[in-house]
Amino acid sequence: MKKAIAAFLCIMLATGMISGCAERKQEPDTTQESTSTEDTEKTQNSPEDASGEQKKDQESDSQEEKNSDEDDTETSDNEERDMTEDLAMSVLKDQAGSVDYTSFEELELEAGSRIAVVLKSARDDFWTTVREGIEDAVEALNEKMGYTGEDQITVSFDAPADDTDVEKQIDLIDTVLSENPTILCIAAIDRQSCEAQLEMAAENDIPVVMMDSGVDNGPVSALCATDNYGAGVEAAKRLAEAIEDKGQIAVMAHAESAQTSQDRERGFSDEITKNHPDIEIVNVSHENADFTMEEMANAVFTLYPEVNGYFCTNKEASDAVLNAADAAGKELAVVGFDSDEQQRSAVENGTEIGFIAQNPYGMGYAAVTAGVRASQGLPVDSFVNTSYQWIDSSNLKDEKYSSYFYG
């Protein structure tokens, strides 16, 4: 199926049916995003195709920003969330694992400790919300410990500019490890990456907590994430119901190397294959450097005109499929993933039947709690389930679910 789509797109490109593909695709900017808890303003980097001198200046500026990112967390602008009224946090408190990952009661961390965080991206509402959870957790821990001024626990954030740049992320992890943080939190771009870095962290008694995406090898204390396989199963059931359990469907997935993409796709495919025999998955496409997701969706609509359903594994995939369907005048059932403003608008206007909403704030908060527990040698669940919710027109406006929304 993938080869058919790729071949079709190549033919269209060669014959001019897709114009300007090469021109539209800029080389990714691999200048790192590096900020501290006081530096919350995100800046736009220049394209990678700048001159060598410009690139050198950018790297120098970025490193200077990195060197100055040890600041405290007392300037967090986020209001403290009421755990009893906040569904996302109350679920995290009661159901994430064997301990309460919203509480720092009986936990301690040495004054002046630093938590280093390496994310997949710094330019995405999802990761901004993860960051808010981390910052609020550190603020709560400082308050609990009574730390002020130079005694405060600090947190630093780094991320590659391109959320598919595995090598850049590994370089950032290397740099962070050389600074010997107290705790390291990572959202891995590639599940087969950074084994050597994880071994180095273990050798230096630095507990590592993975967020969102885990890795196949290497010692880690915990993975704080969505049950992505279960979410994929949920998405399959909802899509099957929407198309009355028959028809042809497709999947638009983000990076194939990411654990989140693999688990969501696997859960979805397993449910369809096992329990919905009259539904055929005719194509699975993944984000790649050769074609945009919108181009791939257009190709699917051309090659499989009877397609009546689409599962999208993240918000970029959802946006691409919705745009392609709109341009083609195609009516079909779309199930999305993530809960930013675009996804909510799509459900409200009826172009998407619903989406899986994750808990990025809770993911960040739990990562800090798990890291502190691990640093003290206390029990930590290997998988901390930060929960998800199914959102459609029936509960989109229900205030109870608003804590799962961001952007």
pLDDT at 13 over 50: no
Specify the residue for token string 């509960």. 395
- The answer as to whether 221 is a domain residue is yes
Give percent of the chain with pLDDT exceeding 90.
73
Do 189 and 157 fall within a single domain? yes
What is the Cα–Cα distance from 47 to 29, expressed in whole angstroms? 5
Do 221 and 364 fall within a single domain? yes
- The answer as to whether 96 is a domain residue is yes
Question: Token pair of 118, please?
Answer: 């390496």
What is the Cα–Cα distance from 259 to 214, expressed in whole angstroms? 6
- The answer as to whether 269 is a domain residue is yes
Digit-coded pLDDT (tens) for 232-291: 999 999 999 999 999 999 999 998 888 899 999 999 999 999 999 999 999 999 999 899
pLDDT of residue 311: 98
- The answer as to whether 185 is a domain residue is yes
Going by the DSSP 8-state scheme, the letter that residue 260 receives in this structure is H
Do 299 and 310 fall within a single domain? yes
Do 156 and 246 fall within a single domain? no
Cβ atoms of residues 215 and 192 within 8 Å: yes
Question: Token pair of 143, please?
Answer: 């308050």
Please state, rounded to an integer, the average pLDDT across all residues of the chain. Answer: 85
pLDDT of residue 164: 87
Domain of 195? 33-40+61-73+80-226+359-387
- The answer as to whether 209 is a domain residue is yes
pLDDT of residue 289: 86
What's the mean pLDDT in 59-81?
Answer: 43
Do 198 and 254 fall within a single domain? no
Do 232 and 199 fall within a single domain? no
pLDDT at 138 over 90: yes
pLDDT at 36 over 70: no
CATH number where 313 lies: 3.40.50.2300
Do 259 and 212 fall within a single domain? no
Question: Token pair of 96, please?
Answer: 């994430």
- Per the confidence metrics, is the pTM higher than 0.95? no
Do 368 and 294 fall within a single domain? no
pLDDT of residue 66: 43
pLDDT of residue 82: 59
